[in-house]
A and B are shown apart, each in its own frame.
Chain A
Amino acid sequence: MCGIVGLFLKDKSLEPKLGEMLSEMLITMTDRGPDSAGIAIYGSGETKKSKITIQSADPEQDFAGLTKDLAGKIGGAPEVVVKSTHAVIEVPTDKVAEAREAILELRPSVRIMGVGEVIEIFKEVGLPAEVVKRFDLTKMSGTHGIGHTRMATESAVTTMGAHPFSTGPDECLVHNGSLSNHNNVRRELKHDGMTFETENDTEVAAAYISNKMAHGDNLGQALEKTLTDLDGFFTFVVGTKNGFGVVRDPIACKPAVMAETDQYVAFGSEYRALANLPGIENARVWEPEPAKVYFWEH
């Protein structure tokens, strides 16, 4: 099992409530995935600035003095906001590669969770309600977001094995299912220069889509190709800077429900996750078809 929730807002007035809505949906899916939970939020970003979300097993040690140390390496005034085991570092977009390298050099034990102009990723082991509280997720605002509750099958219960996985700028993916050809696909992607943090099957799916998009595909085209190149069970929900996509494998035994109103598009592994959304009584509610790509863009 595993639980997925996603929310893509069309109505700007709901943006301040994105974190609150998504957190409630996530907690509803606790019994589908009590091992760990994660969320990717697409918030507002200043132009020409990017956010690097990092995670540390020893945040007190690693995050202390990081602002100063990083400024010493890349110049300017990088902004570091610490949230529990994670920190979001804002740097000029043209300095992202340099900052990334500098962070890993200054604090070799931290892990990079995601990078992008608007994306922030928070994930940890533990019950979804604890993860929500730890990162104060209910207070976050944004245009769209994706969450996941994990019941591990393919790899260990660790922070890095939790979803969402981010393998490209402002890109992220969550997965319910298991892939059977991930080792082979990982090998092919490595040949093409992609790097991997884990042995996890879902990271391969995320990297596969990032790789296709880096080669010029749009989100819809990249999702379409997963149907021929990835083998196994999957319901994927994918976020990009301005988009939100869903695809299920042709067998489609992993559950999925979607709802759409004038205000939002919502995804849930079960209807329970959607039951308290505003206007759900009159929403168009449907089960996404097998092997059919759905995507929305702002």
Chain B
Amino acid sequence: MPTVDLSKSSLRELNQALHDIKPGSNETSWEVVNPKGSHSVAVGVDQPVSVDVRGSVGYYCAGMNNGGTITVHGSAGPGVAENMMSGTVVVKGDASQYAGATGRGGLLVIEGNASSRCGISMKGINIVVHGNIGHMSAFMAQSGSLVVLGDAGDALGDSIYEAKLFVRGKVKSLGADCVKKKMHPKHIERLQKLLDAAGVKDVKPEEFTRYGSARTLYNFNIDNADAY
């Protein structure tokens, strides 16, 4: 198993080594030690390899991940798994602002809390947060699911499109055009699959409330013309 020590190797060496992995390579399990809050750790992985990061990372860890399984055994700074395409990113600790922002696919699991703007402009990624999320989460979220086992902060789902939000705890306030919705059997089924994929046990989909778009902001309303 290749181990990269970031106190000895540069970030460029690590990321280049990850980018140089050829399809079918036997080097499928990587370890990164001494990250000490480094930025952009394991960004742009595009092979189905696993990367275990032993410690806390800074900005943009696992950004643009495409098929990798990246686990941060610590906390992550702003923009973890930003624009993920596919694969899995797991943060064992907390995540800072805009976790999973603009993600197009894959699964992001945060075992601690996520701060503000979690899932902002998400476009297909699934995000499961074991703890709480901060304000302005799922702002303009387009598709995918955001599952929160704890509470959500202010202005959840402001100007949301078709992403599905499931919150088990309290929501401090909903953003513009975001409303509480009924849980249908297909939502229960979808949520159960996500909880299973995220390794969540002893929590039932029925404990969650679904939120989504009221679809009143989709089209320009002539009655609002005076407001501009």
**B56 adjacent to A271 (CB under 8 Å):** yes
**A290 adjacent to B135 (CB under 8 Å):** yes
**A255 adjacent to B78 (CB under 8 Å):** yes
Contact pick for A253, options B37, B38, B97, CB 8 Å: B97
- Could you say which residues of chain B place their CB within 8 Å of the CB of A253? 97, 116
User: How long is the Cα–Cα vector from A15 to B162 in the complex, in angstroms?
Assistant: 55
When C-beta atoms are compared, the residue in chain B nearest to A274 turns out to be B37
Interface membership of B44, Cβ < 8 A? no
- Could you say which residues of chain B place their CB within 8 Å of the CB of A289? 134
- Could you say which residues of chain A place their CB within 8 Å of the CB of B116? 252-253, 290
Chain A contact surface mostly: loop
**B36 adjacent to A276 (CB under 8 Å):** yes
**B37 adjacent to A287 (CB under 8 Å):** no
A residues contacting the other copy or chain, number (CB 8 A): 17
User: How long is the Cα–Cα vector from A250 to B154 in the complex, in angstroms?
Assistant: 10
B193 to chain A, nearest CB (A): 30
**Contact A275:B56 (CB < 8 A) given known A270-B37, A287-B94:** yes
Interface membership of B159, Cβ < 8 A? no
**A255 adjacent to B37 (CB under 8 Å):** no
Q: Which of A169-193 contact B (CB under 8 A)?
A: none
Interface membership of A285, Cβ < 8 A? yes
Contact indicator per residue, chain A 138-177, by CB within 8 Å of chain B (1) or not (0): 0000000000000000000000000000000000000000
Interface membership of A286, Cβ < 8 A? yes
Contact indicator per residue, chain B 50-81, by CB within 8 Å of chain A (1) or not (0): 00000011110000000000000001011000
- Could you say which residues of chain A place their CB within 8 Å of the CB of B135? 250, 252, 290
Q: Which of A246-269 contact B (CB under 8 A)?
A: 250, 252-253, 255, 257
**A270 adjacent to B56 (CB under 8 Å):** no
Contact indicator per residue, chain B 25-58, by CB within 8 Å of chain A (1) or not (0): 0000000000011100000000000000000111
When C-beta atoms are compared, the residue in chain A nearest to B134 turns out to be A290
**A272 adjacent to B94 (CB under 8 Å):** no
**B115 adjacent to A275 (CB under 8 Å):** no
Contact pick for B58, options A250, A272, A276, A286, CB 8 Å: A272
A30 to chain B, nearest CB (A): 13
User: How long is the Cα–Cα vector from A250 to B37 in the complex, in angstroms?
Assistant: 25
Interface membership of B88, Cβ < 8 A? no
**Contact A271:B37 (CB < 8 A) given known A253-B97, A290-B134:** yes
**A275 adjacent to B77 (CB under 8 Å):** no
When C-beta atoms are compared, the residue in chain A nearest to B115 turns out to be A287
Q: List 18 A-B contacts (CB under 8 A).
A: A250-B135, A252-B115, A252-B116, A252-B135, A255-B96, A257-B96, A270-B58, A270-B59, A271-B57, A271-B58, A271-B77, A276-B36, A285-B75, A285-B94, A287-B96, A287-B115, A290-B134, A290-B135
Of all A-B residue pairs in the complex, the 3 with the closest CB atoms, nearest first, are A272-B37, A271-B37, A275-B36
Beyond known contacts A271-B36, A285-B56, A287-B94: 8 more, CB 8 A cutoff:
A252-B97, A252-B135, A270-B59, A271-B37, A272-B58, A275-B37, A285-B94, A286-B94
